[in-house]
Amino acid sequence: MALAGPVSGGRLSGLVLGRSVATISTAIQAWSSQSLLSASIPLPAITVIIPGLVSDIWEGILKAVPKKKTSHSKKRHRQLAGKALKDVKAVNQCPGCGKPKRAHTLCPYCVAAHAADIFALAVTTTQILTGSGESSIKVHSTTEDDFPIVQVLNDAHKLGCHHIVTDRETGRNAVSVGFGGEVKVWKYDEGAWKDAGEIKVGPRKKAGEIWAVCLSFDGKFLAGTTHDGRVNVWDLNDTGSREKIREFETKGSFGMSIDMSPDGRFIASGHESGNIYLFSTATSRLLHSLPGLIKAVRAVKFSPGSKLLAAAGDARIISLYDPNSGEQVANLTGHAAWITSLDWSHTGQYILSGSLDGKVKVWDIERRVCVATHGESDKGLWAVMWLPKGETSVGRAKAEKFVTVGSNKAILIYREATGG
């Protein structure tokens, strides 16, 4: 018989596919009586048989089980979620600059104030000056609602700029420090900033020979820290020489921050070691070595009346000191990361702090509490400042505003809810 011998998988499959269900059942019984079960039958031939036998039964079971219905709104939400996921990943071309950007988002190249992180910030009554990892310094006007760029100081610092300061009396004197170690003086004349030369930092000119800087209230003197802890003072009255007139020695730790009191009596410096030194400009001596912070001090700032000194840094604490006695009078806590910048409001009632947690906080000094916290992203802030109020009565009546810059490469301007 043809069925007596072994049946290969190919022959069995052809036989099964060519017969009806009843014929297949008869064939299986015949094979069983002749011990075909002991033959080597490949598994795929059997798996083809089973769906054909139970297809009708399985279909009946499916009809008996009620299906879970999904409302139209849920389906729509799922569709929108899928579309949103595609939008997040989709990349298109910016019509403005032609560079690639994410779909349905503003172009970071067009919106960003700088192409690199913004490290330096200075303000006057009418302008905002910013420096970054790129070579130019940009100047924005604060007299118009859209804060347009009014001037770009091209090739100011080839390796970028990490500090800019302006005098608080006239706002017509500025000094910028670059990552290459150069220190440039700028004068505001006839509606524009002009290069007024460089300051000679000595034969050891290099990055870190002068780091943090500050100007006296009238802009006649410049103080700066060094990588080895010295504090130097230059006389800017003589535009020809601009000689160094003071040099204060400390314990050799990197000078990360510096400020001069508005009344000109004190110079404070914050160092990587956590030390804060307070010097007298009259006697050229160290008055106090202030306690309280054990980590790097990235910001020191005198109050407008020179009655308080605020200091902060990697300890995430803002410490307040009496500069006359050197006594620590208060601690303010609330930031989750290093504090990089401090600034007092023009009345001395509030202090502004910026941190690498991306948050800027406003503190009420009298109550010793944080009264406002702002943060548009988690990218770190490198500098924060209050905008000076206008010289007219209308300008002075306006609400307080402050500006922040940092790793988001943008200039953000806030207005407090109080005021006009």
pLDDT classification of 75: cutoffs 50, 70, 90: low
Question: pLDDT: is 296 or 38 the higher one?
Answer: 296
* 189-201 pLDDT, tens digit each: 989 999 999 988 7
pLDDT at 350 over 90: yes
* 167-196 pLDDT, tens digit each: 999 999 999 999 999 999 999 998 999 999
Phi, psi of 341 (to 5 degrees): -155, 145
- Segment 16-22 shows an average pLDDT of 43
Nearest to residue 217, comparing CAs of 170, 257, 175?
170
Nearest to residue 329, comparing CAs of 291, 280, 287?
291
CB 231 within 8 A of CB 278: no
End-to-end C-alpha distance for the chain, whole angstroms: 108
CATH superfamily of 108-415: YVTN repeat-like/Quinoprotein amine dehydrogenase (2.130.10.10)
For the chain, the average pLDDT equals 80
Quote the pLDDT of residue 389: 79
Question: pLDDT: is 321 or 14 the higher one?
Answer: 321
- Segment 106-127 shows an average pLDDT of 80
Range in 12-16, 48-52, 272-276, 292-296 the model is least confident about: 12-16
Range in 126-140, 316-330, 380-394 the model is least confident about: 380-394
Question: pLDDT: is 292 or 88 the higher one?
Answer: 292
* Structural tokens at position 210: 């002068």
pLDDT at 348 over 50: yes
E strand map for 202-274:
213-215, 221-225, 231-235, 244-248, 255-260, 266-271
CB 326 within 8 A of CB 278: yes
Give the CA radius of gyration of the chain. 37
pLDDT classification of 257: cutoffs 50, 70, 90: very high
Instruction: Provide the 8-state DSSP code for 107.
Output: -
CB 339 within 8 A of CB 299: yes
Alpha helices by DSSP H, listed for 262-388, are none
* Structural tokens at position 362: 């406003």
> How far apart (Å, rounded) are the C-alpha atoms in residues 175 and 90?
44
- Segment 291-316 shows an average pLDDT of 94
Quote the pLDDT of residue 301: 98
> Across the beta sheet with 411-415, what order do the strands follow?
381-386, 401-406, 411-415
- Segment 317-333 shows an average pLDDT of 95
Beta bridge partner(s), residue 415 = 401
CB 270 within 8 A of CB 300: yes
Q: Which residues of 200-238 are buried (b: 16+ CB within 10 A; e: fewer)?
A: ebeeeeeeebbbbbbbbbebebbbbbbbebbbbbbebee
> How far apart (Å, rounded) are the C-alpha atoms in residues 335 and 358?
10
pLDDT at 52 over 60: no
- Segment 29-57 shows an average pLDDT of 49
* Structural tokens at position 341: 């910048």
Question: pLDDT: is 196 or 86 the higher one?
Answer: 196
Q: Which residues of 259-297 are buried (b: 16+ CB within 10 A; e: fewer)?
A: bbbbeebbbbbbbbbbbbbbbebeeeeebbebeebeebb
> How far apart (Å, rounded) are the C-alpha atoms in residues 154 and 163?
16
> How far apart (Å, rounded) are the C-alpha atoms in residues 203 and 12?
97
Quote the pLDDT of residue 168: 92
* Structural tokens at position 20: 């009806």
Beta bridge partner(s), residue 353 = 342, 361
pLDDT at 87 over 50: no
- Segment 262-273 shows an average pLDDT of 95
- Segment 141-148 shows an average pLDDT of 87
Domain boundaries, the chain: 9-63, 81-107, 108-415
pLDDT classification of 5: cutoffs 50, 70, 90: very low
pLDDT at 330 over 70: yes
Instruction: Provide the 8-state DSSP code for 36.
Output: G
CA-based angle 233:238:239, to the nearest 5?
100
Beta bridge partner(s), residue 297 = 313
pLDDT at 369 over 70: yes
* Structural tokens at position 286: 């160290």
Quote the pLDDT of residue 60: 59
CB atoms within 10 A of CB 8: 14
pLDDT classification of 135: cutoffs 50, 70, 90: very high
pLDDT classification of 398: cutoffs 50, 70, 90: low
Alpha helices by DSSP H, listed for 91-239, are 108-111
- Segment 241-254 shows an average pLDDT of 87
- Segment 24-35 shows an average pLDDT of 49
CB 156 within 8 A of CB 163: no
CB 231 within 8 A of CB 250: yes
Percent of the chain residues topping a pLDDT of 90: 54
Question: pLDDT: is 87 or 401 the higher one?
Answer: 401
